[in-house]
């Protein structure tokens, strides 16, 4: 007679409980599967936390009411160019917020200088940004942590906290070679974890002659009265015959800046996780085949006593999933301890300059890692489970 649902469920509980209780007797193979899966999850979460960290840095760089103006056809500041007259016209556009000194629009110059990394000593491209007074109003998360702001009209710089950590020679009180002169470092600043912390700031009017840029800029950052003022602001600039510009929401701009880098890191991380996951799958497969082989007589005895094949399949799969869950949890925990908040720098391929960021191990990333671990466990336990259920009872009882 076929077992009823209640009886079938009690069979699953009994067989699964028996299998889990015997895990200590197979601790060698079980540990191999657990730590193999843990390694896969730790690496996957660690690599993907790089992409998360870069995305978060870019999000922290933008304010919803801010806009950026570039030359038409330019995707980055490096490729853009605006005359001083063009920058003035942008600052006069409707929709821009104002403070006591005028419109909150910052005409900015963006150049690259070479500095050695502290960790490796190799040269890296570091952004040097020339700004005007309104820059501190546009980026209202700017906060000095050490020293003071540079004096307008003087060859002085302030350094982002991320740049100061990652690159040599950017200590407060030191100096920086710009052109053929040494410019003193008078302050260290933070900007809410945004990309500005990867940069060095100075007076744009001083930077222009140092790099023979004349009266030119590369972008204008503007704070609008509200995000809803953007259409009016954009239309007034793109329809002005004196201008040839591209107008973007600041968050849209930074999202596009990070897309290439995060896609590259995510793609590589996925490939590495798949390759390592294949190894962990075979590890789980071997572990569960070993478990089934070691319990051949016990399974056959249960079958002879009236236990159906279904509960046996479920019990082997559950055992494999438990091992995978433990491995995933260990791997996620290791990744969180080792990587979360770890600070590094990498090249932003859009601007060909370094961006500093912190690895970001989020709860969703940990869940993703555990789900991947469970998938490995499920597939790794499936074939051994089917073998256990199909094993002829008479043959199994004769096996040693």
Per-domain boundaries in the chain: 5-59+257-398, 73-243
Contact by Cβ (8 Å): 143, 168: no
CA–CA distance from 65 to each of 61, 141, 226, 227, 250 (Å)? 12, 14, 5, 4, 8
| CA separation for the pair 218, 77 (Å, rounded) | 6
224 - beta bridge partners? Answer: 96
Give the helix ranges, DSSP H, for 204-357.
204-210, 230-238, 250-294, 296-304, 309-339
pLDDT-derived band at 400, boundaries 50, 70, 90: very low
Phi and psi for 293 in degrees, rounded to 5?
-65, -40
Q: In the predicted model, is pLDDT for residue 56 greater than 50?
A: yes
| CA separation for the pair 59, 275 (Å, rounded) | 31
The residue ranking higher by pLDDT, 213 or 261, is 213
Measured at the alpha carbon of residue 32, what is the angle toward residues 31 and 37, in degrees to the nearest 5?
A: 100
Sign, CA torsion 368/370/376/378: negative
SS3 call for 242: coil
Q: What is the dihedral of CA 299, 301, 304, 309, to 10 degrees?
A: -10
Supply 282's token pair.
């075979």
Contact by Cβ (8 Å): 351, 397: no
| CA separation for the pair 91, 233 (Å, rounded) | 10
Measured at the alpha carbon of residue 213, what is the angle toward residues 209 and 219, in degrees to the nearest 5?
A: 120
The residue ranking higher by pLDDT, 338 or 258, is 338
Tell how strand 123-131 and strand 157-160 pair up.
unpaired
Instruction: Please state which of the ranges 107-121, 184-198, 312-326 shows the lowest mean pLDDT.
Output: 312-326
SS3 call for 214: coil
Q: In the predicted model, is pLDDT for residue 230 greater than 70?
A: yes
CA atoms lying within 13 Å on the CB side of residue 290: 18
What is the arithmetic mean of pLDDT over 58-76?
A: 92
pLDDT-derived band at 399, boundaries 50, 70, 90: low
Contact by Cβ (8 Å): 12, 314: yes
Buried b / exposed e over 204-231, threshold 16 CB at 10 Å, is: bebbbebeebeebbbbbbbbbbeeebbe
* CA-based radius of gyration for the chain: 30
348-394, pLDDT tens digit by residue? 877 778 889 999 999 999 999 999 988 888 887 777 767 766 766 55
Express as a percent the part of the chain with pLDDT over 70.
84
* pTM (two decimals): 0.81
| Averaged pLDDT of the chain | 85
- Taking Cα atoms as reference points, which of 190, 187, 386 lies closest to residue 299? 386
Q: In the predicted model, is pLDDT for residue 180 greater than 80?
A: no
Burial-class residue 234 by CB neighbours within 10 Å (0-12, 13-18, 19+).
Answer: buried
298-355, pLDDT tens digit by residue? 666 666 666 666 676 777 777 778 888 989 999 999 999 999 999 988 888 777 788 8
Greatest CA separation found in the chain? 95
83 - beta bridge partners? Answer: 216
Q: In the predicted model, is pLDDT for residue 199 greater than 70?
A: yes
């Amino acid at each position: 007679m076929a077992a009823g649902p209640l009886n079938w469920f009690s069979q699953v509980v009994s067989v699964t409980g028996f299998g889990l209780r015997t895990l200590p007797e197979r601790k060698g193979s079980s540990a191999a599967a657990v730590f193999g899966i843990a390694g896969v999850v730790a690496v996957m979460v660690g690599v993907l936390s790089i992409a998360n960290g870069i995305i978060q840095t870019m999000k922290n760089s933008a304010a919803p009411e801010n806009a950026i103006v570039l030359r038409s056809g330019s995707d980055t500041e490096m490729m853009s160019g605006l005359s001083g007259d063009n920058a003035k016209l942008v600052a006069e556009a409707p929709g821009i917020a104002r403070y006591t000194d005028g419109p909150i629009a910052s005409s900015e110059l963006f150049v690259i200088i070479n500095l050695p990394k502290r960790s490796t000593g190799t040269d890296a491209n570091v952004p040097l940004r020339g700004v005007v007074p309104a820059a501190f109003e546009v980026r209202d998360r700017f906060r000095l942590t050490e020293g003071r702001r540079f004096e307008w009209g003087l060859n002085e710089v302030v350094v982002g906290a991320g740049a100061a950590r990652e690159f040599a020679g950017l200590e407060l009180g030191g100096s920086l070679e710009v052109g053929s002169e040494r410019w003193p470092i008078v302050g260290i600043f933070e900007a809410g974890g945004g990309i500005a912390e990867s940069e060095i700031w100075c007076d744009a009017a001083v930077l222009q002659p140092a790099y023979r840029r004349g009266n030119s800029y590369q972008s204008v950052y503007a704070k609008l009265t509200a995000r809803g003022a953007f259409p009016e602001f954009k239309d007034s600039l793109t329809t002005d015959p004196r201008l040839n510009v591209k107008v973007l929401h600041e968050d849209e701009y930074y999202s596009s800046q990070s897309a290439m880098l995060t896609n590259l890191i995510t793609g590589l991380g996925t490939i590495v996780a798949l390759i390592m996951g294949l190894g962990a799958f075979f590890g789980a497969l071997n572990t569960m085949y070993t478990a089934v082989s070691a319990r051949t007589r016990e399974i056959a005895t249960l079958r002879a006593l009236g236990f159906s094949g279904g509960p046996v399949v479920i019990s082997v799969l559950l055992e494999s999933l438990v091992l995978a869950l433990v491995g995933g949890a260990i791997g996620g925990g290791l990744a969180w301890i080792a990587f979360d908040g770890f600070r590094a720098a990498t090249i932003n391929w859009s601007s060909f300059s370094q961006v500093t960021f912190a690895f970001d191990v989020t709860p969703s990333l940990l869940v993703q890692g555990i789900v991947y671990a469970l998938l490995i466990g499920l597939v790794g336990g499936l074939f051994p489970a089917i073998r256990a259920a199909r094993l002829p009872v008479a043959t199994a009882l004769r096996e040693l």
